Amino acid sequence: MAAGTCRTDVRYRVRGLRDCLNVDDFRTLARRRLPAPIFHYVDGAAESEHTYRRSLLAWDEIGMAHNALVDVAAVDTATTVLGQRIAMPLLLSPTGTARLYHWRGELAVARACAAAGTFYGVSMGSTFSLEEIAAAADGPKLFQLYVFRDRGLSIELIERCKGAGYAAVCLTVDTPVPGMRERDLRTGMTVPPAFGWKTLLDFAAHPAWTLGLLRGGRLRMGNLENRAEGRQDITTLARFLGGQLDPSVTWEDARRLVEAWGGPFAVKGILSVADARRAVEIGASAIIVSNHGGRQFDAGITPIEMLPRIADAVGGQIEIILDGGIRRGMHVLKALALGATACAMGRPHVFGLAAGGEAGVRQLLALLHAEIRRNMILMGCATIDAVSRSMITNDRIAGYPIHKGDLGMAAV
């Protein structure tokens, strides 16, 4: 699904990184470079994909007016999130199994993030171990985990993160069971890719990807090795991980993890004011307002439309990271205006990785950073703090009427 570009009459083809001017171009290139089941695994979402579509389109409903004649000769896009000073208010969300998209996997993304000066959200389902990823680059890293049936495993991972120098930990709370992704059933997506005549044809049509997969050696789940019984191949470990998701997890479990980590802690997958308040109560440092990119619960709620009321309830008590549907620098600025501390994105960096490895992710991050900077100048905002809700021009977000009070306007 494409979003973030406007229709023009200019015909063009995206043949390589040099043709990538926006996130959609990276998506187009990724689609060309990946076998179809893998592309659709990244691009797809749950059930009717309604929530995902709305997350991409909701931005168009939000207008912003600029401040004229402000001195913006020097613009500073830097901000502080989870205790780290980062170059721009945009982080990379955790996405698992990166070696499926490029043979250098998470190591390539870690290096690109460090070069861009921003946080890398490392998924616990990474193909390299959290220690290998930490050793690959110096930039700040956030480790994402779940509360597992085996509670000791979550604590063990937290201890490993301390040893490896991770800056923050994040607990994903919207995955008591995996979402139903119908595209994966139709394309026959499995991890690792199953061998059949269709897959072999697909591999033959993508020789660079296939060679990369072979070059990288055995596909692993770096953080789970020796935890499952039997063979330590990715199929066994992915099945082990799926079996460890626990629908009986509660806020009390989350509180124990906050205490065990003792540092900056984010709760990922918050979509209501009540849950945002609970995250404050258990002592979390940040909430990630997220619907998992529409990959879990196809309920039609988008993070951006929930943001103003969540920000009004808990803003100032906890950092708020908006995750999902970010495809433009301007989307980041709209989210900041509506109360976010920063934003995070998932699929775009996977598209960058598939399109061109480390160079692809670097180019993508540089592009979005330039969009944030240019639009701050156009808006008359010299710093991130200058982006304010008073610049929002409409009181409807994503087609839902919201209370006037939510936008800081007088109630009528």
Ligand X SMILES: Cc1cc2nc3c(=O)[nH]c(=O)nc-3n(C[C@H](O)[C@H](O)[C@H](O)COP(=O)(O)O)c2cc1C
Residues, the chain: 412
Rounded Cα–Cα distance for residues 147 and 159 (Å): 14
331's torsion region: left (phi>0), alpha (psi -120 to 50) or beta? alpha
Give me the torsion for CA of 403, 295, 44, 134, rounded to 10°.
110
Per CB under 6 A, residues contacting ligand X are 42, 55, 93-96, 123, 125, 144, 172, 268, 290, 292-293, 295, 323-326, 345-347, 350
Beta carbon of residue 67, minimum distance to ligand X (angstroms, whole number): 29
Nearer to ligand X, 212 or 346 (CB): 346
Beta carbon of residue 327, minimum distance to ligand X (angstroms, whole number): 8
Please answer whether residues 160 and 130 qualify as being in contact, where contact means their C-beta atoms are separated by less than 8 angstroms: yes
Beta carbon of residue 98, minimum distance to ligand X (angstroms, whole number): 9
Nearer to ligand X, 51 or 77 (CB): 51
Burial of 156 (0-12, 13-18, 19+ CB in 10 A): middle
Nearer to ligand X, 96 or 300 (CB): 96
What lies within 8 Å, CB to CB, of 312 at 6+ separation is 339, 405, 406
Beta carbon of residue 399, minimum distance to ligand X (angstroms, whole number): 18
Nearer to ligand X, 116 or 326 (CB): 326
What lies within 8 Å, CB to CB, of 213 at 6+ separation is 99, 100, 103, 219
Taking the mean position of all CA atoms in its chain, how far away is CA 159?
24
Nearer to ligand X, 59 or 407 (CB): 59
DSSP character string of 134-167: HHH--S-EEEEE--BSSHHHHHHHHHHHHHHT-S
Rounded Cα–Cα distance for residues 129 and 68 (Å): 49
Beta carbon of residue 126, minimum distance to ligand X (angstroms, whole number): 8
Beta carbon of residue 245, minimum distance to ligand X (angstroms, whole number): 11
Expressed in angstroms, the distance from the first to the final Cα of the chain is: 38
Would residue 292 show up in a list of annotated catalytic residues for this protein?
Answer: yes
Helical H runs in 262-346? 273-281, 303-314, 329-337
Nearer to ligand X, 106 or 406 (CB): 106
Residue in the shown chain whose Cβ atom is closest to ligand X? 346
Beta carbon of residue 348, minimum distance to ligand X (angstroms, whole number): 6
Nearer to ligand X, 105 or 125 (CB): 125
Helix (H, G, I), strand (E, B) or coil at 294: helix
Catalytic position from the list 40, 206, 292, 349: 292
Neighbours of 208 (CB within 10 A): 10
User: Which residues form the catalytic set?
Assistant: 292
